[in-house]
Amino acid sequence: MRRAVSVLLVLAGLLVVGCQGDLSQTKVTKYEPTWESLREYKEVPQWLRDGKFGIYTHWGPYAVHAYGENTTWYANKLYKDPNSDARKHFEKTFGKLTPQFGYKDLIPMFTADKFDADEWAELFAKSGAKFAGPVAEHHDGFAMWDTKYSDWNAAKMGPKRDVVGELEKAIKKRNMKFVTAFHHAYNWNYFPVWDKRYDTGDPKYSGLYGQPHEQGAMRNQEFLDEWYGKIIEVIDNYNPDFIWFDFGLDSIPDGYVKDFLAYYYNYAEANNKDVVVSYKWHDIVPGAGIRDLELGQQPEITHYEWITDSSIDDRGAWGYAEDAGYKSPDRLIDNLVDRVSKNGYLLLNVGPKADGTIPEDARKRLLEMGAWLDVNGEAIYGTTPWIVSGEGPTKLSKIDINGFNEVARAYTNKDIRFTVKGDSLYITVLAWPEKKVLIQSLRNYPGFRSEEIKRITMLGDGRTLDWKMTGEGLTIQTPDKKPCKYAYVFKVERYHHPRID
């Protein structure tokens, strides 16, 4: 009984003592650290509603081993499962795990000697992304900026460069919004710091592997204060527009989370900028941020906005893996269109190599997406969903709490998606429709009348196309030549009211 009371007292102390964020720098206290107040913040800024598509990078010491189904979990399996492929690969490639030698010894090989922030940012801009940025810190505890909280960071080790700072300048220079992603809430459980057989159990490496504690112990105040302090440091020093969180916020006392949100939203208010915070699962109260679906997409249109984090590789390796394949441009574009039609947005991951180069296969796909958006971006940027998202045979399974229902193939020419802008309806057919296309959703639909139609064209072609409305739906003749390689967009220009000439 006394132990239970002690635990409660410690928790209370953490909530009170550990969450005293310094809001003085913001000079604005419009938002209080309460869920009632934080829900008053504009949940989704207009730049996200208009931009739809962004890119982030999983890049850290895990790029050195470049191995595993999910490269960012390699180090966890390396220590916790002696029979894992990660353990076998590490000991064959780098050496046997000992109390002195382990994951930390990959850091000198994380050289970034070919890293060029301007080259990355230029590629992201050419891909059509409107927001971009790095994973600031993954579960492994290695910070990608010059942090005062730990010497285990990219400015002091490995690259010996402030990666977050360099990317901030390069990305903002191209008028993209800046993203920083945080996974460090899980660092507490990621490495077996209680196991003295490995270097993870040596307190002198705790700046990387995490605060020493017994297995199953609750997060201590030192860990929580550092978790909080690192985020505030990135806000103050790099001014991100978008803070993205992986799972794990549910393990942080919500006093810390509310203090962070109040600090960030007041910071944005003081600096006259619109920001957004995303979260996994149900880790933030609805309305105080936007929910992220990992490798997922909503099966139907929703009346709330959401975002997906997906990866350009085809198995969710996230970080660079030498044997990872890549999704086809067709599949990437189809899934972008599907999400936008259902009130969603896309944050697409790229995993660079340890030397800082973007893999050529990833580069080619990003440029293919950019080429498609150069022709068809009118149907994506600045649009809203329509009354229905679309039609067609390709169906999605229900999402679980994480997501994980992304369509793993390209769609067909019977799969059609809708978006709108002004009085124009954009009908995207997700494969070439041959000589004509039939859109059955418009059959006798009360909100769409044939007398409203002024003209129908295909983006990238521009010539007026023949069309006919029947009891089956709207039939449109296609152009003779394809204006692009992948999904094809019919633009239906409509009169604002059927009686207006």
The CATH number linked to 466 is 2.60.40.1180
User: Amino acid letter at 303?
Assistant: H
Averaged pLDDT of the chain: 93
Q: Is residue 9 part of a domain?
A: no
Instruction: Please tell me whether residues 232 and 323 are part of one structural domain.
Output: yes
Instruction: Please tell me whether residues 85 and 212 are part of one structural domain.
Output: yes
Beta-carbon contacts of 384 under 8 Å, excluding residues fewer than 6 positions away, are 49, 419, 420, 421
Burial 220-253 (b: 16+ CB within 10 A, else e): eeebbbbbbebbbbbbebbbbbbbbbbbbbeebb
Instruction: Please tell me whether residues 341 and 449 are part of one structural domain.
Output: no
Q: What CA dihedral angle connects 64, 66, 67 and 69, to 10 degrees? A: 130
Which H/E stretch holds residue 216?
A: none
Task: Answer whether residue 445 shows pLDDT above 80.
Answer: no
Model confidence pLDDT, tens digit, residues 102-134: 999 999 999 999 999 999 999 999 999 999 999
The boundaries of the domain holding residue 463 are: 411-494
Instruction: Please tell me whether residues 367 and 252 are part of one structural domain.
Output: yes
Banded pLDDT at 1 (limits 50, 70, 90): very low
Closest CA to 409 of 468, 327, 294, 344: 327
Instruction: Please tell me whether residues 257 and 159 are part of one structural domain.
Output: yes
**Assigned token pair, 68:** 């595993």
User: Considering its fold, how many domains does the chain have in total?
Assistant: 2
Tell me how long the chain is.
Answer: 501
Name the domain boundary from 355, 379, 403. 379
Instruction: Please tell me whether residues 180 and 317 are part of one structural domain.
Output: yes
CA gap 117, 275 in Å, rounded: 23
pLDDT at 496: 86
The dihedral through the CA atoms of 353, 122, 235, 285 has a sign that is: negative
Instruction: Please tell me whether residues 255 and 338 are part of one structural domain.
Output: yes
Name the domain boundary from 332, 360, 379. 379
Model confidence pLDDT, tens digit, residues 457-494: 999 999 999 999 999 999 999 999 999 999 999 999 99
Number of other CB atoms surrounding residue 365 within 10 Å: 24
Instruction: Please tell me whether residues 73 and 127 are part of one structural domain.
Output: yes
Banded pLDDT at 8 (limits 50, 70, 90): very low
CA gap 303, 136 in Å, rounded: 31
